[in-house]
Amino acid sequence: MKTIVVLTVLLAAATLADAARKPNVIVILADDMGYADVGFNGCKDIPTPHIDSLAAHGVRCSSGYVSHSFCSPTRAGLMTGRYQQRFGHENNPAWLPEDTKVGLPVNQTTIADVMKSAGFVTGAIGKWHLGAAPCFHPNERGFVEYFGFLGGGHIYLPGLKGGVEYTVPLLRNKEPLELKEYMTDVLSREAAAFVARHKTEPFYLYVAYNAVHTPLQAPGKYLSRFTSIADERRRAYAAMTSAMDDGIGLILRALRDNGLERDTLVWFFSDNGGPPYNVSPTHNDPLRGNKGTLYEGGIRVPFVVQWRGELPEGTVYEQPVISLDVLPTAATLAGAKLPGGLKLDGVNIVPHLKGESKGPPHERLFWRTGGGAAWAVREGRYKLLKPGKDAALQLFDLNSDIGEAKDIVSEKPDVVARLQKAHDAWNTELIPPLFESPKPAAKKKARQAGRTK
């Protein structure tokens, strides 16, 4: 009888412990990946079995968005759960290690700050691209552990040439290290090691691959998988994608091997849509546009959320969600207390993915680039778009026209007026960009220098 009682008590204690455990959170971010370059979105020439497994065992968000159409602003929004235009981070920061203004403003609370305050071990691995000055370093922004590089890109193989930003040493926290192997493999191993190292404590892990961003570089062991692809650039892109997929498999195996698969919420998405094919051989089908534009091809991305045993497996969620949702979702699950007065634009999407909340997570989603030169707003099936400074407004019904081929702006004046009003109200809450992207800034500097001669 005593044995039965003891076993009952132990089982009850174990059940309570499991119920009380706060789920780990892993965010895996690809860089410049095409919407159609994963198996779950129809890719035929590049197998992505491990990424596809996330969709098979989780929820594929068919209207999954990021908050900007290129690199750094998206990361600023992901890091803060806020539209990055609220605090002026609307462009890519130049590589200026001495400039304390070109980066994610230090007065902004990050997801790492929030999760760390809730008792989570916080780690970031890979591409940072939120400022190169010491004040912007991940260790200063809430991450206890960091391994990666601070710029917007990097060479993938030791000894290859590149600009200063692309050839700086790797960092383990603030200690410089030499790149000795293929970058994607190195980052994947670091991520898997983080999981194993912190298996007994709740953690938040941000894995930001620079794959599949240019330069298109891959070793023979991955290139040899794609001899059937005639286009050499597409072959290199495929090899880079395959390496990243292998790495994601390594991370997922680390979760399984350490008994954490059902205790971990895993996100996967790209930081923006694929670039034009002449820049990088990506496919965004059936979407219109690409990286840098506010057509769907620039902002709608492969987007999956897995939490085994909690989220329905192998399902598709069609309502729009956005990368801004990561912070409030993670904070809610962690029981974190948010700083007073912090205005978040994302929401906790777990009840929506579970089907417990029937309405859409967001009444509307907004985008702005170039300080307002281009903007878009999506409400339900409709998307109102101003694609450039002097361009006319366009309206699309995304439910029937995902490729944005038919402009119905003249057919729905009431919808146009409503969405224009909503955008104008949102825009009043934003501030001008704090810094310019490197290329426009360089051109402006050259023009100014020419006028002074």
Ranking 9-18, 145-154, 164-173 by mean pLDDT, the lowest is 9-18
Give the total residue count for the chain: 453
pLDDT reported for residue 12: 41
Is the pLDDT confidence value at 437 over 80? yes
pLDDT reported for residue 14: 39
Query: pLDDT tens digit string along 321-377?
Result: 999 999 999 999 999 999 988 999 999 999 999 999 999 999 999 999 999 999 999
**Which regions of the chain carry the CATH code 3.30.1120.10?**
365-427
- Residue whose structure tokens are 């794609």: 226
For the entire predicted model, the pTM comes to 0.93
d(CA 415, CA 364): 13
pLDDT reported for residue 17: 42
The arithmetic mean of pLDDT across residues 393-409, rounded, is: 98
**Which regions of the chain carry the CATH code 3.40.720.10?**
23-354
pLDDT reported for residue 419: 98
pLDDT reported for residue 447: 54
Partners of 384 in the β-ladder:
377, 395
Strands 315-317 and 59-61: parallel
Query: pLDDT tens digit string along 72-129?
Result: 999 999 999 999 999 999 999 999 999 999 999 999 999 999 999 999 999 999 999 9
More confident of the two residues 1 and 68: 68
Is the pLDDT confidence value at 153 over 80? yes
The answer to whether 226 and 205 are in contact (CB under 8 A) is: no
Architecture of domain 365-427: 2-Layer Sandwich (3.30)
| Catalytic annotation, residues | 71, 129
Q: Please, which residues have CB within 8 angstroms of residue 334's CB and are 6 or more apart in sequence? A: 22, 25, 114, 115, 118, 119, 120, 202, 204
Architecture of domain 23-354: 3-Layer(aba) Sandwich (3.40)
d(CA 90, CA 73): 5
